[in-house]
């Protein structure tokens, strides 16, 4: 296995745009700031809670200087400025964060309670809205050139025991840009993404969001509370999360090629429901035919997660293919083959269409250090 620095050299024949070479994003799937930066951020939070905002701001600024991709420190710096009523500085920091890391920076900025003051003054809100619109288009444009996959941003949560278990799997969708070896986070769904399909034109993705896993003695495991959601990559606009009705034994979805996604949902009693999803509504239908069309790749989710995907050619122009494999430690990874082979840099596991759920059997991931909070 070689690192991504080598990968960039391997795939040098792929076109590298200025946006890919110097644009937004992080150099690995699960970004972990250096210990010194996390220590400074933690010290800043202690000062912040005590009301010492100026001292906290100094700690956050040092943490951000050490690691410009440390979203938590950057956000905390903006909040500290806002609490000191330095609203112009807070707006400047918030705008810069949105432009540098649209996902997850935009959501963090707009949901931070201590930045609420920036949304009540027209001049500050206008700057935020401008940054949100421009950064979304830039991020989506860069992402469309990428290779999409599901990866864990933290160690997997094992699903043990009986009853109704929450599916908080620490999984999101990422795009790998083969021309530069960079990664872009695509979703910020609190780690609840289970699987996805991409439209044939590459402009939209539809993904399944987790609910719960239902386990009862002597009964098959079921999925409950699933929802489906569309993301328009041209604007990074999210559609509503539409609930999949009832308990689910198995769910298969695929792009229909007609601007939507078709689904077959196997229920506990054995009946098979059919739906068409257009990004806004989940419409029951009697017959669906797109699954048998050429080039269609169905993705199937069960109570065991997503089975390993097939081998796919990600970009013939770049001369590489990708397939689900495991690394030397047994972690699920995506192997990319060009002149040589290497794994995408997803330290907690990745899959082409999704990942299997870790069960009660001991997992090699237990040997990893626990994930440290970065905010």
Q: Which CATH superfamily is domain 22-141 in?
A: Tetratricopeptide repeat domain (1.25.40.10)
Of all residues in the chain, the percent with pLDDT exceeding 90 is 61
Q: What is the distance, to the nearest Å, from the Cα of residue 262 to the centroid of all Cα atoms in its chain?
A: 22
Q: 152 to each of 149, 164, 193, 370, how far by Cα in Å?
A: 10, 22, 10, 13
Average pLDDT over residues 296-317: 81
Q: How confident is the model at residue 145 (pLDDT cuts 50, 70, 90)?
A: confident
Tell me what pLDDT residue 292 has.
Answer: 57
Q: What is the per-residue pLDDT for 110?
A: 95
> Which residues sit opposite 184 in a β-bridge?
175
Segment 310-318 shows an average pLDDT of 70
Q: Which of 272, 271, 232, 230 is nearest to 252 (CA)?
A: 272
Mean of pLDDT values over 34-57: 96
Q: How confident is the model at residue 26 (pLDDT cuts 50, 70, 90)?
A: low
Band (pLDDT 50/70/90 cuts) for residue 128 is very high
Sign of CA dihedral 297, 303, 305, 308: negative
Amino acid 43: pLDDT? 97
- Report whether pLDDT(11) > 70: no
Q: Read off the pLDDT band of 30 (50, 70, 90).
A: confident
User: Rounded to two decimals, what is the model's pTM?
Assistant: 0.86
Q: Which residues 6+ apart lie within 8 Å of 321 measured at CB?
A: 311, 312, 313, 314, 336, 337
State how far the Cα of 179 lies from the Cα of 146, in Å rounded to an integer: 9
Q: Where in the chain do CATH 1.25.40.10 domains reside?
A: 22-141
């Amino acid at each position: 296995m070689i690192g991504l620095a080598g990968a960039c050299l391997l795939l040098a024949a792929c076109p590298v745009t200025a946006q890919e070479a110097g644009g937004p994003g992080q150099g690995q799937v699960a970004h972990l700031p250096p210990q010194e930066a996390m220590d400074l951020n933690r010290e800043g939070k202690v000062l912040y809670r005590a009301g010492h905002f100026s001292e906290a701001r100094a700690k956050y600024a040092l943490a951000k200087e050490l690691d410009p991709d440390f979203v938590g420190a950057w956000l905390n710096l903006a909040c500290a400025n806002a609490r000191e009523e330095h609203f112009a500085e807070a707006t400047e920091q918030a705008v810069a964060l949105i432009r540098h890391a649209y996902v997850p920076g935009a959501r963090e900025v707009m949901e931070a309670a201590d930045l609420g003051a920036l949304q009540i003054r027209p001049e500050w809100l206008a700057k935020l809205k401008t940054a949100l619109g421009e950064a979304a288009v830039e991020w989506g444009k860069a992402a469309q050139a990428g290779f999409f996959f599901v990866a864990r941003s933290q160690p997997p949560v094992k699903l043990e025991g009986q009853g109704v278990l929450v599916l908080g799997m620490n999984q999101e969708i990422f795009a790998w840009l083969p021309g530069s070896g960079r990664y872009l986070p695509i979703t910020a769904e609190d780690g609840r993404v289970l699987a996805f399909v991409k439209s044939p034109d590459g402009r939209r993705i539809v993904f399944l969001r987790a609910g719960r896993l239902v386990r009862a003695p002597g009964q098959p495991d079921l999925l409950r509370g699933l929802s489906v959601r569309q993301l328009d990559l041209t604007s990074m606009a999210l559609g509503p999360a539409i609930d999949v009705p009832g308990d689910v034994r198995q769910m298969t979805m695929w792009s229909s090629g007609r601007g939507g996604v078709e689904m077959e949902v196997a229920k506990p009693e054995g009946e098979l429901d059919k739906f068409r999803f257009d990004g806004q509504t989940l419409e029951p239908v009697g017959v669906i035919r797109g699954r048998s069309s050429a080039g269609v790749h169905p993705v199937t989710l069960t109570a065991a997660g997503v089975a390993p995907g097939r081998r796919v050619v990600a970009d013939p122009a770049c001369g590489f293919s990708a397939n689900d494999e495991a690394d030397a430690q047994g972690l699920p990874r995506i192997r990319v083959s060009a002149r040589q082979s290497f794994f995408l840099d997803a330290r907690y596991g990745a899959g082409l269409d999704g990942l299997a759920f870790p069960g009660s059997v001991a997992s090699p991931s237990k040997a990893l250090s626990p994930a440290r909070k970065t905010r």
